Homo-oligomer: A and B are copies of this chain.
Amino acid sequence: MDAEIIAVGSELLTPYRLDTNSLFLTAELNRLGFHVRRKHVIGDRDEDLRDVFLRALERVDVVVSCGGLGPTEDDRTREIVAEVLGRRLKRNDEILREIQERFRKFGRTMPEVNARQAMVPEGAEPLENTRGTAPGLWLETDGKVIVLLPGPPAELQPMFVREVKPRLARRGAKMRLYTRDLRITGLPESDVDQRVASIYTQYAGTETTILASPGEIQLHPRVWSEDEPAALKLLDEMVKRFALALGENLFSTSGESLEAVVARELQEHRATIAVAESCTGGMLAARLTNVPGSSAYFRGGVVSYSNDLKSAWVDVPKELIEAKGAVSSEVALAMANGIRRRAASTLGVGITGIAGPGGGTPEKPAGLVHIAIADEKAAKERSFRFPGDRDRIRHQAAQAALDMVRRYFLYAPPAKGQ
């Protein structure tokens, strides 16, 4: 069964704001067995609203719109949908009472303008809004469904889950979408595609999307099926073959972030970590502490941006900086060892590099980054040349450092029971 999504709001036609609701709605609709065939973004002109609803209803079984349900005269969705369906607008006293009640709860009287929100097309079922004044609306016509939702995600999402999902599930198709979320690092997008394309093209009836961001590739195989066990078996088989082709570069088959994987490894090995950063300026520490409960394994970090603080805070010898330069393998190793001792942690990580745009030289250009990891017995360093601007370079460096920590544990046995 097919669906279309209509995002209403003139602010969505400016250079400043994207419709993000459609990602949430697509995921939910797919799970319920609806294929999203088109998405539309329109402003608040009557002719556009009329046209988009009318034509979507001609094409698909379910039309979901978000936005345009506010109390002001710009909010025309209710009126236009009534017109498209040939129904009258009628005041719904239940909705009116709920809006008045909501204002009363916050110690205010309902402004007259909000009464417009209770004017709904005949036959519309109100969908309760637990987070705002605009109720959603459910309308049926000739076996098709129109769902009108408010624009703010904090209102739309719980409304969809509580009110729309059960109603759609009752009409839902047998065909459902099944999917997996694989995460890869250490390979560019073209390499990933080269390794996996010959696999996914063998599976007729499946679709696989590759999504790249700095330092990370996501791979999403998807299959529509009426037979859940068969779909899951098929995906398992694909994932197994992808895993073989990607090797150690694959760090999650369930959509985890790299820091979450690293957090789990640290905890499973009862290890702690501390980091000394220069060019990433705190981004690695921020990623590591992004995970709830990170105090169990993250001891602390320093951003030793200036050379004197590299010596004062993590014991990098002044002479070493003079001899090799602050951006060097040797300094990265000294930082990793230094922070490990200073924080009394199992592992220490040191990062030094040139994030640019300034500060580069022909021998040490922007994008050159040295990353070292040290434990009690040994230390290891890798040199990288990251492409892109300052922001991309810093992101890739933090990602590569996390990945070195992940790989450190690849062949280490988990800690023994206490």
* Copies of this protein, total: 2
Option from B26, B48, B306, B358 in Cβ contact (under 8 Å) with A15 = B26
State the CA gap A277–B302 with chains docked (Å): 10
Pair A37/B30 contact, Cβ less than 8 Å: no
- By the criterion of a CB under 8 Å from any partner CB, how many residues of chain A are at the interface? 72
Which residues of the partner chain B approach A36 to less than 8 Å between Cβ atoms? 13
- Chain A stretch 263-306: residues in CB contact (< 8 A) with chain B: 277, 280-286, 288-290, 292-295, 298-306
B43 near A41: Cβ-Cβ < 8 Å: no
Contact with B along A103-124 (1 / 0, CB 8 A): 0000000000000000000000
Q: How far is the CB of A129 from chain B (nearest CB, A)?
A: 17
Stretch at the interface among A16-24, A79-87, A135-143, A242-250: A16-24
Name A37's contact: one of B43, B289, B292, B303 (CB within 8 Å): B43
Is A408 an interface position by the 8 A CB rule? no
Interface: A222 (CB within 8 A): yes
Quick check: A293 and B358 within 8 Å, CB to CB?
yes
A292 with B18: CB separation less than 8 A: no
CA distance A27 to B26 in the complex (A): 27
Q: List B contacts of A300 (CB < 8 A).
A: 302-306, 309, 313
A214: CB under 8 A from chain B? no
Residues of B within 8 A of A394 (CB): 286, 290
Q: Which residue of B lies closest to A212 (CB)?
A: B152
- Which B residues are in CB contact (< 8 Å) with A15? 23-24, 26-27, 30
Q: What is the CB-to-nearest-CB distance from A60 to chain B, in angstroms, rounded to a whole number?
A: 11
Chain B residue with Cβ nearest A35: B13
Question: Of B20, B209, B290, B390, which contacts A292 at CB under 8 A?
Answer: B390
Report the Cα distance A306→B179, complex, angstroms: 40
CB of A61, distance to nearest CB on chain B (Å): 16
A306 engages B302 (CB within 8 Å): no
Inter-chain contacts of A220 with B (CB < 8 A):
14, 16
A-B contact pairs, 6 of them (CB 8 A): A11-B209, A15-B26, A38-B42, A282-B284, A290-B390, A301-B302
Which positions in A face B, CB cutoff 8 Å? 10-20, 22-24, 26-27, 30, 36-43, 45, 48, 52, 55, 207, 209, 211, 218, 220, 222, 277, 280-286, 288-290, 292-295, 298-306, 309, 312-313, 342-343, 355-359, 390-391, 394
Closest 8 CB pairs between A and B?
A281-B289, A282-B285, A282-B282, A15-B27, A39-B41, A282-B286, A301-B303, A300-B309
